[in-house]
Chains A and B, each alone.
Chain A
């Protein structure tokens, strides 16, 4: 059972990584326009002039 001593913390570490990824996404406003994000994927006319890459500057609200 000694294997648990490092497997359990490892599992926890992976879970924590997921948690922090979610908190980061939340903080950077990736959930502020859920519908729009789905539609933006489909438009390809922004390939040439994608200046504000991804969701860095969400509009407030």
Chain B
């Protein structure tokens, strides 16, 4: 963005009293010293009134006097000291989540305070009851407990009461209904008993129940906030810029600022910023992000372009258009709506448990009261016993059984580089028995790589890769990924449409077309066939070559880029490459009983070698988005639970239609929004991690539910016979909750795949670029 002005005013928002504010996700923040460096550098800019870096989520908030500086200067200041700032507008959902988390923490704090103090008073009463407490002192303690517990429960119980009320109004039930009934009855009964100078009250049980449950919910919320913040940062990192014509001048603007009708220039090697049509210029377009098709498409004036496609060697001028009827985007939107309306709401494990639990418990309590009445007890005694049953069957262990596992498991997934989008994805992931993979960008790496590196002299390859750093041609960009260090040669010159040349140690080196390098064109690289054979033998399939025997390079095979430096010359083949651990991951998934399929929008000739290399027998090429849905539906009718893994825009409807879905972080935005979880990095291992962790989590959830049932089977008879004292109730409740939580902690143990990328997200930018 050298001579061109960068216009980031889209991200600046009024922050009160004549100032503007902007939020940036900052890359490269590695240690505590960065905080001071970044804040001081930004504060030194004229007009900046405040700069504050949040180290936890790597975000910088800057405020400045309106008109004093351009937002682009902030990004410039960061760049000068070696950080990259990506402005973003905070998502509304994220802000609401933050507010909700603060509210929950407030409830938790109040419940915690009340629980501690009521417990203090209760313990005094319990020990007094077996020694020499006077009835007056006991009454005083009971009144003090009531004074603390009643207002605290009214405040902290709000999330449960509200949720229960909503459920009852909708004529359903959820876990919050028995919780609310239990807490309310326990408090009411205790108050009546206090007035009657009775010996036993249950204020402590009621308030402790609220405290434990709030603790579970707060942790759940905190985990979700953390993943959401990372997801927000990744989105900010992905946001691209476009060159928009303002009159005759070009201005670089964020893609989000483009409007239909804008004229935009797309340079070679850049992504198409928005849907639209070519006005002038000619080029080749790689649509693989959209359709999965890896063959390039030639475009000229009038051709339709999709946002996200890669422009190859030509410069295009295009106009931005809203998605029109009949375009692919339109078709996908329509399919998405269909898929969403057809999706049956999956009943979550917790709701199912609540549906069984609530009637059983309430019936037991009622029968207890009736039983004691018929046995000749007074109404008061019968009611007290019945309420004791409600308290002892406290839904605490049951209500914690699932959220506790969920918190721990989503934390484990997060550390493995898997970011959950939806809360119940873990349960659905565990149920998956069939996996459908997309090919391009899912089984293969999202960007093309050098595939015949083994056949080229290592020093020559390094030299070629460093030379490639000076070009923006997509093939050169792919080659430059092999460079050990990002140090371009001084004085390297790019000849448009030809290649790059530089003088290295007195010898001219050239990289580009065969003619440019003075070499005879070599359509097929002899080394390719050898690599394929060798890899299959060793079982290590990393450099997979898409070249189909018989086709002469060009369209269907790998693209070739030539390099010459003095006596050295090399023909470097560049093609889509399988993800490094694809074969092992497929093997491991199959070993765990999963049925694997490939459904690709790419041609069958391009899919066949991948399917063969990975040993997947069920595959189809040239599949349209609607056909993918049809196939998933057919599998569903057979009773299969389908996990769809895909990244292309054409996969979005299939992701929505599947039982559960995953997509790599390089996926198209619309596609990512449909996926239940997104995984980071170049490896496919996270798919296996996700399935294994989810299965483990599901197992622990079921164990916890059974434990809660077992606990009730032991405790309820004690309560029915009226033997429960507040001390027993408190011990039983905390004991069962702790047991359930400890069991949940076992979900922390996750298979080690070496895919620990989440912590390094902001530093590993290149791997995350689309």
Binding site for B on A (CB under 8 A): 1, 4-5, 8, 11-12, 15-16, 18-19, 22-23, 26-27, 31-36, 39-40, 42-43, 45-46, 49, 51-52, 57-61
**8 tightest A-B CB contacts, nearest first:** A36-B55, A39-B32, A59-B61, A19-B113, A33-B54, A35-B56, A59-B54, A43-B36
- From B52, B55, B61, B136, contact of A39 by CB (8 A): B55
Q: How far is the CA of A23 from the CA of B106 in the complex (A)?
A: 7
**Residues of chain B lying within 8 A (CB to CB) of residue A31:** 105
**Residues of chain B lying within 8 A (CB to CB) of residue A23:** 106, 109
**Residues of chain B lying within 8 A (CB to CB) of residue A5:** 140
Q: How far is the CB of A38 from chain B (nearest CB, A)?
A: 8
**Residues of chain B lying within 8 A (CB to CB) of residue A51:** 43
In contact, A22 and B109 (Cβ under 8 angstroms)? yes
Q: Does B198 contact A (CB under 8 A)?
A: no
In contact, B35 and A39 (Cβ under 8 angstroms)? yes
Contact flags B12-49 to A (C-beta < 8 A → 1, else 0): 00000000000100000001110110001001000000
In contact, B32 and A40 (Cβ under 8 angstroms)? yes
Q: How far is the CA of A15 from the CA of B144 in the complex (A)?
A: 14
Q: How far is the CB of B449 from chain A (nearest CB, A)?
A: 35
- From B36, B59, B95, contact of A59 by CB (8 A): B59
Q: How far is the CA of A6 from the CA of B80 in the complex (A)?
A: 64
In contact, A61 and B59 (Cβ under 8 angstroms)? yes
Q: Which of B70-116 contact A (CB under 8 A)?
A: 90, 94-95, 98, 102, 105-106, 109-110, 113, 116
In contact, A36 and B56 (Cβ under 8 angstroms)? yes
- From A4, A19, A33, contact of B56 by CB (8 A): A33
Q: How far is the CA of A52 from the CA of B106 in the complex (A)?
A: 26
In contact, A61 and B36 (Cβ under 8 angstroms)? no
In contact, B95 and A60 (Cβ under 8 angstroms)? yes
- From B32, B140, B148, contact of A12 by CB (8 A): B148
Q: How far is the CA of A59 from the CA of B38 in the complex (A)?
A: 14
A25 to B, closest residue via Cβ: B109
- From B57, B59, B116, B140, contact of A15 by CB (8 A): B116
**Residues of chain B lying within 8 A (CB to CB) of residue A4:** 137, 140
A37 to B, closest residue via Cβ: B55
Instruction: A32-B56, A33-B57, A36-B55 are known; give 12 further A-B pairs, CB within 8 A.
Output: A1-B134, A4-B137, A15-B116, A31-B105, A33-B55, A39-B31, A39-B35, A43-B33, A58-B54, A60-B23, A61-B59, A61-B232
In contact, A60 and B90 (Cβ under 8 angstroms)? yes
Give the bracket for the number of chain B residues in contact with chain A.
35 or more
Given contacts A19-B109, A26-B105, contact A59 B229 (CB under 8 A): no
In contact, A61 and B98 (Cβ under 8 angstroms)? yes
**Residues of chain A lying within 8 A (CB to CB) of residue B36:** 43, 45-46
Given contacts A36-B35, A43-B36, contact A15 B23 (CB under 8 A): no
In contact, A11 and B120 (Cβ under 8 angstroms)? yes
B117 to A, closest residue via Cβ: A15
Number of A-B residue pairs having CB atoms within 8 Å of each other in the complex: 91
Q: How far is the CB of B767 from chain A (nearest CB, A)?
A: 23
Which of A52, A57, A60: most chain B Cβ within 10 A? A60
Q: Does B60 contact A (CB under 8 A)?
A: yes
A41 to B, closest residue via Cβ: B32
Q: How far is the CA of A53 from the CA of B121 in the complex (A)?
A: 41
**Residues of chain B lying within 8 A (CB to CB) of residue A43:** 32-33, 35-36
**Residues of chain A lying within 8 A (CB to CB) of residue B148:** 12
Q: How far is the CB of A12 from chain B (nearest CB, A)?
A: 6
In contact, A59 and B137 (Cβ under 8 angstroms)? no
Q: How far is the CA of A24 from the CA of B44 in the complex (A)?
A: 32
B55 to A, closest residue via Cβ: A36
A12 to B, closest residue via Cβ: B117
Q: Does B53 contact A (CB under 8 A)?
A: yes
**Residues of chain B lying within 8 A (CB to CB) of residue A27:** 102
Given contacts A15-B117, A43-B32, A43-B35, contact A61 B52 (CB under 8 A): no
- From A42, A45, A58, contact of B52 by CB (8 A): A58
**Residues of chain A lying within 8 A (CB to CB) of residue B232:** 61
Which of A23, A40, A43, A59: most chain B Cβ within 10 A? A59
- From B32, B113, B116, contact of A42 by CB (8 A): B32
**Residues of chain B lying within 8 A (CB to CB) of residue A52:** 50, 52
In contact, A61 and B229 (Cβ under 8 angstroms)? yes
B34 to A, closest residue via Cβ: A39
Q: How far is the CA of A19 from the CA of B109 in the complex (A)?
A: 7
Q: How far is the CB of B132 from chain A (nearest CB, A)?
A: 11
Contact flags B109-141 to A (C-beta < 8 A → 1, else 0): 110010011001100000000000010110011
In contact, A18 and B113 (Cβ under 8 angstroms)? yes
Q: How far is the CA of A59 from the CA of B32 in the complex (A)?
A: 17
Q: Which of B632-660 contact A (CB under 8 A)?
A: none
- From B33, B56, B117, contact of A11 by CB (8 A): B117
13 sample A-B contacts, Cβ–Cβ < 8 Å, listed by A number: A1-B136, A15-B113, A19-B110, A26-B102, A26-B106, A36-B56, A43-B32, A43-B33, A45-B40, A59-B52, A60-B23, A60-B90, A61-B95
A42 to B, closest residue via Cβ: B32
Contact flags B225-262 to A (C-beta < 8 A → 1, else 0): 00001001000000000000000000000000000000
Q: How far is the CA of A39 from the CA of B55 in the complex (A)?
A: 9
In contact, B94 and A61 (Cβ under 8 angstroms)? yes
**Residues of chain A lying within 8 A (CB to CB) of residue B23:** 59-61
**Residues of chain A lying within 8 A (CB to CB) of residue B61:** 57, 59-60
- From A12, A45, A59, A61, contact of B144 by CB (8 A): A12
